[in-house]
């Protein structure tokens, strides 16, 4: 019982902190890259794609784990017959629930991007995008327990006097992004994008607008701008093998996080265009003084024509050092790419 209580308090502190500071982090961040940077909407080989991902964290604690589900899709709208200029539209939905205390986040946004292919031979392109959305946060007060007040003598028998604001908060969100994709040489290709989110200045505190006269705490909290830098590299070893080094760096206020990883793809053209993927990642976070590793991840993917199934597992390094036990995370993703630009077989990026 005591262990469960301690974990619940720890869970509450981290989850409540994430309400105001940190967004959901996927190890397979490439599945939702257009949600991180709207300029990545439509930046792929094909005319449309649909992707989803589910994540479960802290599965080995004595409380319900965190669970996250995201669904995203984008489609190209060509503006000229040469397919060198085009618009792309995208949609993104996400729901995130923090187990036993029911801290819930729901996000819905729409993305619009413009792409200019300035080198048709190498398919080099430059793009910009904008995203508008709504972020909703909620708490379930039925999950919270507050102790009675001390009567000044020897009993805790007076009613609690906690002043609780409305438990649902919704704020608008604006993201802007840029992206550049270019061929470096015969073997290497790079796709790099920079984006900023939370650009509309909004009060994100549950207590903003709380008109209870007896409340004397702070009502002012503004979410800092969230910066994303994403770089995806492709190394074409031969027709059947590719390597995809990746970097995702994000910064929000005093928080900085980096995900470093690489995937290997091996294709089998004689087996109805099938392939498998293997990869590894490391997540690194910055505290007040230095960077330190948070967790290690392994990934695998199974590809059949234009459909990809992705699996990943995270092992918490920091948790072993601090708490003597590792916390685990699991992700499963599905990707569907359709109507390839060149009408032939391409290399879908997992």
pLDDT tier for residue 5 given thresholds of 50, 70 and 90: very low
In the numeric block, the tokens 């024509």 are attached to: 305
pLDDT tier for residue 7 given thresholds of 50, 70 and 90: very low
Nearest residue to 88 (alpha-carbon basis) of 102, 98, 74, 99: 74
CA distance 177 to 186: 28
pLDDT tier for residue 100 given thresholds of 50, 70 and 90: low
pLDDT(291) > 60: yes
Report pLDDT for 202. Answer: 67
SS3 (DSSP) at 100: helix
Report pLDDT for 343. Answer: 39
**DSSP category for residue 149:** B
- State the DSSP string of 228-293: EEEEEEEEE-SSSEEEEEEEEEEEETTEEEEEEEEEEEEEETTTTSEEEEEEEEEEEEE-SS-EEE
CA distance 273 to 105: 39
pLDDT top residue among 347 and 299: 299
Report pLDDT for 104. Answer: 87
Report pLDDT for 277. Answer: 94
SS3 (DSSP) at 76: strand
120-140: average pLDDT: 89
Taken in order of first residue, the domains within the chain and their CATH numbers are: 2-338 (2.40.160.40)
pTM: 0.83
1-29: average pLDDT: 49
Main-chain dihedrals φ then ψ at residue 4, nearest 5 degrees: -60, -40
In the numeric block, the tokens 């961040």 are attached to: 29
CA distance 82 to 119: 12
The tens digit of pLDDT for each residue in 246-286 reads: 999 999 888 889 999 999 999 987 666 799 999 999 999 88
CA distance 229 to 213: 44
pLDDT top residue among 287 and 215: 215
Main-chain dihedrals φ then ψ at residue 17, nearest 5 degrees: -60, -40
Report pLDDT for 4. Answer: 38
Alpha-carbon Rg for the chain in angstroms: 23
pLDDT(156) > 90: no
What Cα–Cα distance (Å) separates residue 140 from each residue in 105, 131, 207, 312? 12, 29, 15, 30
CA distance 177 to 193: 7
Cα torsion for 99, 332, 245, 281, to the nearest 10°? 40
The tens digit of pLDDT for each residue in 20-31 reads: 445 678 889 889
Structure tokens at 154: 């020897």
CA distance 314 to 318: 12
Sign of the C-alpha dihedral computed for residues 75, 96, 319 and 316 taken in this order: negative
152-170: average pLDDT: 77
Query: What are the residues whose beta carbons fall under 8 Å from the beta carbon of 17, sequence distance 6 or more?
Result: none
pLDDT(308) > 90: yes
CA distance 56 to 72: 18
Tell me what percent of the residues of the chain surpass a pLDDT of 70.
Answer: 80
């Amino acid at each position: 019982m005591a262990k469960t209580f301690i974990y619940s308090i720890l869970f509450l502190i981290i989850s409540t902190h994430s309400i105001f500071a940190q967004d959901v982090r996927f190890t397979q961040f490439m599945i939702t890259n257009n949600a991180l940077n709207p300029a990545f909407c439509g930046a792929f080989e094909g005319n449309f794609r649909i992707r989803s991902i589910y994540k479960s964290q802290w599965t080995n604690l004595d409380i319900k784990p965190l669970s996250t589900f995201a669904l995203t899709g984008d489609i190209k709208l060509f503006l000229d017959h040469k397919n060198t200029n085009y618009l792309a539209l995208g949609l993104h939905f996400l729901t995130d629930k923090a187990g036993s205390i029911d801290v819930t986040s729901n996000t819905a946004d729409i993305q619009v991007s413009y792409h200019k292919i300035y080198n048709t031979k190498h398919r080099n392109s430059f793009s910009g995008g904008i995203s508008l959305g709504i972020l909703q946060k909620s708490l379930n007060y039925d999950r919270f327990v507050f102790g009675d007040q001390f009567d000044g003598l020897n009993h805790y028998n007076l009613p609690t006097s906690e002043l609780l604001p409305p438990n649902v908060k919704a704020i608008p969100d604006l993201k802007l992004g840029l992206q550049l994709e270019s061929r470096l040489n015969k073997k290497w290709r790079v796709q790099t994008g920079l984006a900023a989110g939370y650009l509309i200045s909004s009060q994100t505190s549950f207590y903003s607008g709380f008109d209870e006269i007896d409340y004397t705490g702070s009502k002012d909290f503004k979410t800092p701008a969230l910066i994303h830098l994403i770089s995806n590299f492709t190394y074409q070893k031969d027709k059947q093998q590719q390597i995809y080094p990746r970097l995702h760096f994000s910064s929000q206020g005093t928080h900085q996080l980096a995900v470093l990883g690489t995937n290997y793809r091996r294709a089998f053209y004689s087996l109805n265009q099938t392939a498998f993927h293997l990869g590894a990642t490391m997540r690194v976070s910055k505290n007040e003084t230095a960077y330190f590793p948070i967790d290690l991840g392994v990934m695998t993917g199974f590809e059949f024509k234009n459909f990809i199934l992705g699996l990943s597992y995270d092992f918490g390094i920091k948790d072993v050092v601090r708490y003597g036990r590792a916390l685990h995370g699991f992700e499963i993703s599905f990707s569907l790419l359709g109507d390839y630009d060149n009408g032939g077989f391409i290399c879908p990026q997992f």
